[in-house]
Chains A and B, each alone.
Chain A
Amino acid sequence: MALYLGLTLVPILIGSLAAVSCALLGNFLVLRRQSLMGDAISHVVLPGIVAAFVLTGSMSAIPMLLGAAAAALLAAAMIEIVRVYGKVEPGAAMGVVFTALFAFGIVLLEQTDTGSIHFDVEHALYGNLESLVWLAGIEWAALIDPIALSDIPPQLPRLAMALVVVVGFLAVAWRPLVISTFDPTFAAAAGVPVRLVNAGLIILVAMVSVTAFEAVGAIIAIAMLICPPAAARMMTDRLLPQIAWSVAFAILAAAGGYVAAGAGVALFVEGVAVSAAGMIATVAGVTLLLAAAFGPRRKGAKA
């Protein structure tokens, strides 16, 4: 039982923080029909993250966010160049640029075998939640022991900060965000700062993708952006309850997925566990499937 705190509770908490941050923002992406924006961003930021890692040799948050931002700007410029000079439609230009940048990120990653820090392709794709355990926190007493507390995986406070920023953004920008999500034309006419709100939303999605990718991987983060909000939409016709449902689904996926993966056991018994991030995304997908089949507000359900 004592093993519970450091080996299970801390990774579950990290996974939940990442999932909830993603799900909160995902509600607006899904309602804006921009669900794939998260997909695109998580592809594009990879080379930026790797480049920041190569340049600074650390996985601290600030350089990674700067790298991700630089990569996003580069992607925007490249899309425009491909679109104008390649004479292809915007969708094709985006597809080419996102995939090319992601592939470049992987190649870059393969070349950076520093050995000292664990950072490889698998890590980038589906994270390494299993390793984010708190070995000093085996006993409950560690919660009040400053030395043990300093050994908490840095991802925990980092993702907690990210969640605070996301909640703060939603609280401050709530009304402009809702109005410009529902009716951007009216919003612009009524003087709602539509562009500022749009930019804020996308920047936060990028920030959350970068911070969440260490825990669940860049690619699995997409599932957290889309599945919980999409499932939540089928549970209710009101925005605030939808957001509450999406948070519940996100925590369910993170905790349920981690436990189902048997990840805690894997440290001691070889071969019984599956990827925690993969299992979390699977649970999120199953939740969506169940909501689509039985949710009270799914399409075609009687109102």
Chain B
Amino acid sequence: MLNRLTAKAATTDALTISGLSVAYGDKPALNAVDARFSAGAMSAIVGPNGAGKSTLLKAAMGMIPSIDGTVRFLGEPLSAVRRRVAYVPQRLSVDWDFPATVIDVVLMGLYGRLGAFAWIGQKERQEALACLKEVDLDDLADRQIGQLSGGQQQRVFIARALAQNADLLILDEPLAGVDAATERLIVALLRRLAGEGRAVIAVHHDLSTVREYYDDVLILNGATIANGSVEAAFTEANLARAYGGRLTAGPLAPTGARA
């Protein structure tokens, strides 16, 4: 798989968004957004609350309708490469009181490969357990998901994405509301995946850690403010344009948690 990926990476981006526009009713949410994300890199999407970060990901994945624009995943339309793309929704978008165990959720990641009918046997359970080991949760495989802490729940979601064995991982706020140990674990894991040649794209909130965690960045505020390497794009001037007066102390200012 890595061979295929490196061959492709030379010619195409992992995710290319061109002129993507979205409106909720008659209220515009995204205005002709252009963005490119490379394979083998870890990219952040940052922007103020209501900038359309989650909307951009959902519209790109076709989960909400867009007015205009084209999106290419690994150089293809999503339908052609769906199994190579893993999406991790916001942790609080699901009901964790659902009657399922940790390993049940991770096994959902095998849907793309197994489809609706293929039997889940010992081999698949071992695979899921290996993914749980990566996030240090293999001891809790049979625990009901509602009994986990927020950080542990986020790690279950990451393990499910690992089970998808995707070349492109898209994560909506993977570090929201997690403890410091979980944050370190998730970042190290994602960096390793990017190091293997995969593309990792994450909506990120803490501007103070962008330089440390990410290679590339998209600064968004309804439209593309800047997109490129952190070095080139993550500048005071660009952040001021995106956040306006709300950012008073430069990129080190803490930002409020997103609702």
- A294 interface residue (CB < 8 Å to B): no
- A148 interface residue (CB < 8 Å to B): no
Q: Which residue of A lies closest to B147 (CB)?
A: A303
Contact across chains for B108 and A189 when beta carbons are under 8 A apart: no
Contact across chains for B144 and A182 when beta carbons are under 8 A apart: no
Among candidates B82, B94, B99, B164, residue contacting A183 with C-beta atoms closer than 8 Å = B94
Give the one of A174, A186, A236 with max B CB within 10 A.
A186
- B61 interface residue (CB < 8 Å to A): yes
- B116 interface residue (CB < 8 Å to A): yes
Contact across chains for A179 and B94 when beta carbons are under 8 A apart: no
Q: Which chain B residues lie closer than 8 Å to A173 at the CB level?
A: 116
Q: 1/0 per position for B38-60, CB-CB distance to A under 8 A?
A: 00000000000000000000100
- With contacts A176-B116, A182-B94 known, is A189 near B144, CB below 8 A? no
Contact across chains for B144 and A190 when beta carbons are under 8 A apart: no
- B63 interface residue (CB < 8 Å to A): yes
Among candidates A33, A186, A192, residue contacting B89 with C-beta atoms closer than 8 Å = A186
Q: Which residue of A lies closest to B57 (CB)?
A: A189
- With contacts A182-B105, A233-B99 known, is A190 near B112, CB below 8 A? yes
Secondary structure call for the B interface: mixed
Among candidates A182, A188, A237, A242, residue contacting B108 with C-beta atoms closer than 8 Å = A182
Contact across chains for A175 and B116 when beta carbons are under 8 A apart: yes
Give the one of B58, B83, B111 with max A CB within 10 A.
B111
Q: Give residues 61-84 of B contacting A (CB, 8 Å).
A: 61-63, 82-83
- With contacts A175-B111, A183-B89, A237-B99 known, is A189 near B63, CB below 8 A? yes
Contact across chains for A303 and B144 when beta carbons are under 8 A apart: yes
- B37 interface residue (CB < 8 Å to A): no
Q: Which residue of B lies closest to A238 (CB)?
A: B99
Q: Which chain A residues lie closer than 8 Å to B87 at the CB level?
A: 185-186, 189-190
Q: Which chain B residues lie closer than 8 Å to A183 at the CB level?
A: 89, 93-94, 108
Secondary structure call for the A interface: helix
- A31 interface residue (CB < 8 Å to B): yes
Q: 1/0 per position for B142-171, CB-CB distance to A under 8 A?
A: 001011000000000000100010000000
Q: Which residue of B lies closest to A182 (CB)?
A: B98
Contact across chains for B147 and A192 when beta carbons are under 8 A apart: no
Q: Which chain A residues lie closer than 8 Å to B88 at the CB level?
A: 186
Among candidates A31, A187, A189, residue contacting B98 with C-beta atoms closer than 8 Å = A31
Contact across chains for B108 and A186 when beta carbons are under 8 A apart: yes
Measured between C-beta atoms, what is the minimum distance from A103 to chain B in Å? 32
- A191 interface residue (CB < 8 Å to B): yes
Contact across chains for B99 and A179 when beta carbons are under 8 A apart: no
Among candidates B86, B111, B144, B164, residue contacting A179 with C-beta atoms closer than 8 Å = B111
A183 to B94, CA, bound (A): 6
A176 to B112, CA, bound (A): 11
- A239 interface residue (CB < 8 Å to B): yes
Contact across chains for B111 and A188 when beta carbons are under 8 A apart: no
Give the one of A176, A181, A190, A237 with max B CB within 10 A.
A190
Q: Give residues 182-216 of A contacting B (CB, 8 Å).
A: 182-183, 185-192
Among candidates B82, B94, B100, residue contacting A190 with C-beta atoms closer than 8 Å = B82
Measured between C-beta atoms, what is the minimum distance from A174 to chain B in Å? 8
A249 to B118, CA, bound (A): 31
- What is B's interface to A at a CB cutoff of 8 Å? 58, 61-63, 82-83, 85-89, 93-95, 98-101, 104-105, 108-109, 111-112, 116-117, 144, 146-147, 160, 164
- What is A's interface to B at a CB cutoff of 8 Å? 31, 33, 172-176, 178-179, 181-183, 185-192, 233, 236-239, 242, 303
Additional A-B contact list (15), CB under 8 Å, known A189-B85, A191-B111, A239-B100: A175-B117, A176-B111, A176-B116, A179-B111, A183-B94, A185-B89, A186-B87, A186-B108, A188-B63, A192-B111, A237-B99, A237-B144, A237-B146, A238-B99, A239-B104
Which 5 interchain pairs have the tightest Cβ spacing? A189-B87, A237-B144, A185-B89, A191-B82, A239-B99
